[in-house]
Amino acid sequence: MTATLDPARPAAPNAPRRRWHRILVPLGLAVLLIVTTLVLHAVDQPDPDDRGFLSPVATGDDGGSRLAGALRAQGVPIRRETDVRQALRSVGSGPVTLFVPAPELVHPKTLTALTVLPGGSRLVLVEPSRRVLTGLALPLEPTDRRWATRALPPDADGAACRLPEALRAGTAAVDHQRYAGPPSVDRCYAGALHRISWGAEVVVVGASDPFRNDRIDELGNRSLVTGLLGGDRPLVWLDLPGPEPAPTGPSLSPTPDDGGTPLPRRTGGRADDRADPPPNWHNPLWDAFPTWFWAVLAQLAVAGLLLVLWRARRLGPPVPEPLPVTVHSAETVLGRARLYRRAGARDTAAATLRAAALDRLLPRLNLPPDTPPDEVAARVAAHAGADPERVAELLHGAAPDDDRELLELARGLDALTRTLAPHPTEGDPR
């Protein structure tokens, strides 16, 4: 007795449920991989909030002790301050370089005081955010941000660089955060470094890499940072241990009681008397990565979804297809028994067995495939000497209700076909 599947027969109602895990598991793994990559990258990046970040006394990879040593070797006096008020009081009346490696830690109410420096002074900011630039009223805004810092020559984008320190240094690793400003602003390294006269001379550097101990000796990093912070001016290094608290005094300018010289007011600009910058509703997550990163991430997500849908198993009921070879019905039942049992597809198994029996009996009795069921049962019962009702129940009866009835049906059909249409390899009829 053999069994084949009829392609014209409709799908069984008790088909397996849709297996959504075939989609959810690959998507979950992809999301896990992306999240793990982002987390590892965030952990690997230096955090300005960490104690010792670009500190002149920190010897770790993210510290600035090697930079401080290089400046002292050039004869640059360095004064380390851990408080903004004290740093401004220590400026004095002559030109000075104020280095702020973590401007995000400066309180918004004291940002504008950073540019209140004597004439000829320079303020160097490392990766200032939009909030810092707004608080300083600088005509700059962050634009593209890279996943990792890249080394570039000063005129990488074809624009002429007018900063002597950058021209002497050549290629340096500063391309992490880029900024955009008016044409009058000196621009180098494709917008990663800007110099602008805003009361004091303000230099904005878009990466901390050239200042750090682990990267200062790469390419032209050392020449660039020592040029920006060195020279004839003394250096005030603002080494904040954490976010600065709100100022409690009326002003950051020294008074006669403080024993210092009043600092000059910054002339020009748009926010001389403003205490608080306007609220910034910009989501910092979008600035954390460049625009192309989000575009590539969206494309990868769509491509992954299409790949999963293409490679996934069927999402609906099984579709009947003809078997490529003739298989004995007993082998079919044994091979697919667990599948049928797990799906509860006893009706499908019974229909397959009955179709296989009819495929062998009808040619044996010279009956066409469209013979009515009653006539088929009568002819089969006459040739087999069996009860017509029993034969009709075997060939065209209802679907079995349990596994025991399915097993009895298979045995009855097998005995019937062995009697009337034995297979040549099955021996003599019994």
- Model pLDDT for residues 186-206, shown as the tens digit of each residue: 899 988 999 998 778 899 999
Q: Give the mean model confidence (pLDDT) for residues 261-287.
A: 43
d(CA 332, CA 164): 84
Residue 281 has pLDDT above 50, yes or no: no
d(CA 368, CA 165): 98
- State the CB neighbour count (10 A cutoff) for residue 319: 10
**For residues 333 and 410, is the Cβ–Cβ distance under 8 A?**
yes
Residue 15 has pLDDT above 50, yes or no: no
For residue 78, list its beta bridge partners. Answer: 235
Alpha helices in 176-290 (DSSP H): 221-229, 284-288
d(CA 52, CA 43): 16
CA angle 94, 100, 101 (to 5 degrees): 145
Q: For residue 37, which of 311, 305, 300, 218 has the smallest C-alpha distance?
A: 300
Query: Which segment of 153-157, 247-251, 310-314 scores lowest on mean pLDDT?
Result: 247-251
**For residues 132 and 268, is the Cβ–Cβ distance under 8 A?**
no
The proportion of the chain whose per-residue pLDDT surpasses 70, expressed as a percent, equals 76
d(CA 47, CA 66): 19
- Burial of 283: CB neighbours in 10 Å, binned 0-12, 13-18, 19+: exposed
Q: For residue 241, which of 83, 127, 109 has the smallest C-alpha distance?
A: 83
Report which of residues 368 and 19 the model is more confident about: 368
Residues 6+ away with beta carbon under 8 Å from 255: 262
For residue 150, list its beta bridge partners. Answer: 175
**For residues 74 and 226, is the Cβ–Cβ distance under 8 A?**
yes
pLDDT at 18: 53
Query: Is beta strand 200-205 parallel, antiparallel or unpaired with respect to 193-198?
Result: antiparallel
User: At residue 397, what is the residue type?
Assistant: G
User: At residue 166, what is the residue type?
Assistant: A
Sign of CA dihedral 6, 9, 10, 14: negative
Residue 260 has pLDDT above 50, yes or no: no
Tens-place pLDDT, residues 341-358: 777 778 888 888 888 888
Q: For residue 162, which of 137, 196, 136 has the smallest C-alpha distance?
A: 196
List Cα–Cα distances, 128 to 73, 103, 274, 284, in angstroms. 28, 6, 19, 12
- Say which DSSP state 124 is in: E
Q: At what angle do helices 291-311 and 21-44 cross, to 10 degrees?
A: 150
Q: Give the mean model confidence (pLDDT) for residues 92-111.
A: 87
d(CA 168, CA 154): 9
Tens-place pLDDT, residues 213-242: 988 998 899 999 999 998 888 999 988 888
Joined tokens for residue 183 = 């044409």
Residue 291 has pLDDT above 90, yes or no: no
- State the CB neighbour count (10 A cutoff) for residue 325: 7
User: At residue 103, what is the residue type?
Assistant: P
Structural Rg of the chain based on CA atoms: 41
Residues 6+ away with beta carbon under 8 Å from 407: none
Residue 301 has pLDDT above 70, yes or no: yes
d(CA 251, CA 275): 11
The proportion of the chain whose per-residue pLDDT surpasses 90, expressed as a percent, equals 15
Q: For residue 343, which of 8, 13, 5 has the smallest C-alpha distance?
A: 13
- Say which DSSP state 134 is in: H
- State the CB neighbour count (10 A cutoff) for residue 41: 13
Report which of residues 282 and 91 the model is more confident about: 91
d(CA 240, CA 114): 14
